[in-house]
Chain A
Amino acid sequence: MFKIIGKENLASNIRLLKIYAPQIAKKAKPGQFVVLMPDENSERIPLTLADWDREESTITLIFQEVGFTTKKLAKLSIGDCISHILGPLGKPTEIKFFGRIILIGGGVGIAEILPLIKAFKEKNNYILTILGARTKELLILEEKIRKFSDEFYITTDDGSYGRKGFVTDILKEKLYQDKDFQLVYAIGPVLMMKEISKITNPFGIKTLVSLNPIMVDATGMCGSCRIKVRERTLFACVDGPEFDADEVDFDELQKRLSLFKDEEKLINSYGA
């Protein structure tokens, strides 16, 4: 059992949980995730580690209430326990000095940018950050991420904050002005990552994405999370979750994420 020791509402449907999990906190590295079950009847869902504190023995998870299980998780309060958390999982991100890096976070994907930006900054990289949200109210972690950024941009779909439009608008502009970047790292909706890949590809800039497909065991056993990467099938849980954006079949990933949409409707009508 894993006890919740902190909870915050970051936006109307985005929650932060701080959880006592000493061993995961001890081993966590940027880019890794956990799989958890809020209770014994739950499904197993993957969530990327947004933060951890080895001294406090805690991990921080940030998630959007999108499905039944994230809604269930959101109902838990400080003092409650999460039945099962397995982690840290997946290959960690290679953290080193690249030079100039563009970090892009979209929606709740911004949470996953946090450990990366801290680690990249520690290695003295120059960091240009672009955060995107549908609307101002849904923009999370602005100040925490801004303080590690050398340049910082915000877009909202509706123009309620920052620039009206998409993260890709700013990315395009910046790259046309100055293509001296050694890495673009993007985390967010599949469509966003796909569009970013299309933009960076002609510039030949290494572009990494972190994928979040459906998983069950998350230890390489079930193959639910298979991703087509350069015509080869890989498992996001053990071969990822980070992949080279140029090589990922995003259309297939998007389709695979829709596998349980009918079941999702059914369970939501059944009531969280």
Chain B
Amino acid sequence: MGRKEPKKRNPQDRLNNFLEVSLGFTDEEAKEEATRCLNCKNPACVKGCPVNIDIPEFIQLIKEGKRKEALLKIKEKNTLPAICGRVCPQEEQCEKLCILAKNNQPINIGALERYAADYELLFGSLDSKKKDTSPVKVAVVGSGPAGLSCAGELAKMGYMVVIFESLHKAGGVLTYGIPEFRLPKRIVEHEIDYIKSLGVEIRLDTLIGLTYTINDLFNEDFKAIFVATGAGLPQFLGIEGENINRVYSANEFLTRINLMQAHKFPQYNTPISLGKTVAVIGGGNVALDCARVAKRLGKEVILIYRRTEKEMPARIEEIKNAKEENIQFLFLTQPVRILADEESKVKAIECIKMRLGPLDDTGRQKPIPIEGSNFIINVDTVIVAIGQNPNPLIPRLTPELKTNPDGTIIVDENLATSIKGVFAGGDIVTGSDTVISAMGAGKRAAYFIDRYIKNEH
């Protein structure tokens, strides 16, 4: 019996809406898939999970029809399972190590996790155990995956936790970055409500570094601070014409749509100016998110990537979804210049063909421009999705906080920074990485913060 995939919305039914593409398992499908699990004595899958969920155990519970118990089992290790079930790259983590992966039929752990987690969405929240909080205060900076999981863990340990978020909505990249059709916002809201139900306070509209400095937080009697400000600084190509109108960073494009609801303009007041044909530059999940959002806004979309499909860092599943949605792919192509019309809006993009050379330090073949192969594509919008750098604000405004040359915060094996009592984790430490590794870091930080406070006070 082969691996089961959850049903998906038909490609033609996806185009004018942002409804979730994957429909998730039904009870029968989930049980059937769970039955395939061999319940290995030494389960490799658990080692592949950054938060070490007891995977065979929760799958066993699904097999027995105990969906709620399965969820409780996951929640012992993972605070935000409905999110992880949807956006984790399981094919590179737990599923990669599944014994059945040898035959290319690993258990669909991601879909099973999502199935268990969605119990709460269907039948209401499980009782959260709000502990009597001690008066010891911990500050968490940033309400993305690292911040939320750290706050959740600390609250469960009894700390009084305040999350500081600069935007007007919590969730970080889960809210402004990942689009609705991949991660419905009601799920993010539900998980945030859960964190709040543990007693965590979320203070919006507060930028640490400016509204309060790190020192201000210590003065307000926070005993420890976890910095989880993510990789928010967009990279640009550095080519001519990049500041022409209708050239957007992926962050700007996604934020305008996901957070500000610009596609519902003018009911929502944030505008977005797009033409008919959108070029998205990049090959990662963020690039695919941009392409698929633009498609849903009725645009022709061309994704331009300098290597081939094989080297794309995006999840295979999402590449497949994008193809089904008629995104055009232009591989081995690198933009060299963006051209403007008389209104200073994008009218075309000049590209050069690439070939693959020897391996580079990422272990992928390095793309090399083919001289004289330049060509022009007529597009009227360009979205640059070639990666994000760490957010520089806190390091810049906190000189004592030591950083690497690439802007990531330096931490020791306990996630402690160069300032006593300040810890850091997630993309601000690792550079752009996955939601689950950020959550893993948040969780580990909670453990080290607890240990630090107990030693100090």
Contacts and interface: CB of A to CB of B under 8 A. Distances in A.
B391 A258 contact: no
Interface stretch (B45-53, B84-92, B146-154, B228-236): B228-236
B205 A220 contact: no
Contact of A217 (B167, B211, B272, B343): B167
Contacts of B167: 86, 217, 219
B386 interface: no
A222 interface: yes
A226 interface: yes
B271 interface: yes
A220 B391 contact: yes
Interface in B198-230: 204-207, 210-212
Contacts of A42: 269-270
A23 to B, nearest CB: 6
Contacts of A219: 166-167, 207, 232, 391, 393
Contacts of A264: 271
Interface string A36-53: 010011111000000000
Contact of B207 (A89, A260, A266): A89
Interface residues of B, number: 43
Given A43-B270, A223-B236, A270-B266, A87 B391 contact: no
B211 A44 contact: no
B249 interface: yes
A263 B234 CA distance: 25
A223 B237 CA distance: 13
A222 B344 CA distance: 20
A261 B269 CA distance: 13
B211 A86 contact: yes
Interface string A228-245: 100001000010000000
A184 B400 CA distance: 34
B249 A222 contact: yes
Nearest to A23: B211
B168 A27 contact: no
A11 interface: no
Interface centre among A40, A68, A260, A262 (most CB of B within 10 A): A260
A41 B269 CA distance: 6
| Majority DSSP secondary structure for residues of A touching B | mixed
A87 B243 contact: no
Interface centre among A24, A40, A41 (most CB of B within 10 A): A41
Given A23-B212, A216-B260, A221-B251, A85 B205 contact: yes
A68 B176 CA distance: 23
A68 B260 CA distance: 15
Interface string A53-91: 000000000000000110010000000000111111100
Contact of A258 (B210, B260, B344): B344
A252 interface: yes
A224 interface: yes
B123 interface: no
B252 interface: yes
Contacts of A83: 168
A233 B245 CA distance: 14
A23 B205 CA distance: 11
A83 B232 CA distance: 24
Interface of B: 166-168, 176, 204-207, 210-212, 232-234, 236, 242-246, 248-249, 251-252, 255-256, 260-261, 265-273, 343-344, 391-393, 396
8 A-B pairs closest in CB distance: A263-B271, A222-B252, A43-B270, A255-B344, A267-B266, A221-B232, A223-B249, A84-B168
Interface of A: 23-24, 27, 37, 40-44, 68-69, 72, 83-89, 216-217, 219-224, 226, 228, 233, 238, 252, 255-256, 258-260, 262-264, 266-267, 270
16 contacts: A41-B269, A42-B269, A44-B270, A84-B204, A84-B205, A86-B207, A221-B391, A224-B248, A233-B236, A255-B245, A258-B245, A258-B343, A264-B271, A267-B265, A267-B266, A267-B271
